[in-house]
Structure 1
């Protein structure tokens, strides 16, 4: 028994000494390992930022990112993001140029199904993001839908964050027709073949007529847009209406021209609360930006209250955004306000729905 006890004590001492040795080795090597890992991240960040001769680590709202520079000139930025793949999270470094467009995407950690999910690291897929202003519209990979959507979602999150750093967008403006004095206004927008000029008549807080007075669009191609878009603006009493299929550029050109005509009366979106009591009974449609693409909603107002919010179109990931698609519309109706809490884990989808509802009701006051 004494021999067993001695053996146990000996083994315990050996383990203690070995453990102490490992602790000493770890303490000495950890700083070296951490420094190497940090240098690898900096190198990866530098690789995805075009024209960067140096990178500088920054932080905003607790999020770490890197600014790329060539001397004193900012050439772009990069960020490390993580998105849930089919089996495990996919880690990537995303870089943008000085205009906020995607410059390069580098996958740094991936353990999805070999030959299927791992195809997202192929250059043939990653190159689709280069130059994209809206990564959510990049096509996924057939047969690797979940993994490719994860990458698309991750790149979209990165682009939204970084573009606000290197190329902040101008605040979105909305036009409340009720605040536009009676009169006739002219404006110009860009069509596919050249400028489109319109004349907009406002009376009693409503747009009563939109006329395309000049255009160089192709006859027979843009005719429906030139006819239907002005009519839709008057009928729906809003500038943002659905584009005509096959004549998207002409449609957007007319809407841009109307905005240009009434630009003097535009105000920042969200600068003033929407007064539901001033919105006529009816159903209105609007679109917002989700994580994976546009989210379209229909909003029904009756007796000065929102009675229904319905998501009619979306490209969000099933199982991820489901709770937002269900709970946010419900919360807006129950609370009778637009700025409700977002759903954890589906922030982009939540904000997209809220934005779509605001767009649906913008300019509807005073009808």
Structure 2
């Protein structure tokens, strides 16, 4: 009998505890939801003109890119999305109205290469998103494909969730606009690259051809750079700047007898700049 009473007391205690937890959750949930909405309120209001009511909703997202979903009053849905860009995580907000139109796109966090990945936060790129629909496709930015691709993947995740929620069928036939050419950036120099230094085998230049004309010897050198794209040697307007006359001019008259010789790397294109120096070093070693 004593054991029966103990079990009964335990059962009552468990039921009471469960009831207390359910009651606490029912009381705290609106506060927690309101706190989350308040944190994002400012950026959410930029997505829908005149809308101030945003209610967090539960959701599932297989991509893991969608971090929060809000029902925007009677206006539509808002999304907070995160994805890894080239240099850092990119966080942005997206709004879609009840007709599937994208009403807003706002960057929350962006720490990327100025003039390249940073373009995903600029008006030109924003203009390719706002005004489109949940069944439209989006193009990446030439010269900033990693960061813009991260945003496009996030957009696709939000579109998929929205279309499923609203019962919209995306037949996948939409073709993205032709990516805009990257904005021309001025040539600036950054770190110094020593001519004579240890170079790994994978980064060393390989002599593929030699031509002699009197005292002049011309070497053709193949060396690994940052990127290799079809029809182009390196990332347009970035690594491609190694062809700039001001960059190449610094090698004219450089003496291989000067053990302290060094070159200026192009800002944001250090790897490609190093490849040129490695090619020159290979030619020097071949000439000895």
Relative contact order: is structure 1 or structure 2 higher (C-alpha 8 Å, sep ≥ 6)? 2
Q: TM-score range by the shorter chain?
A: 0.3 to 0.5
The two structures have a TM-score, normalised by structure 2, of 0.42
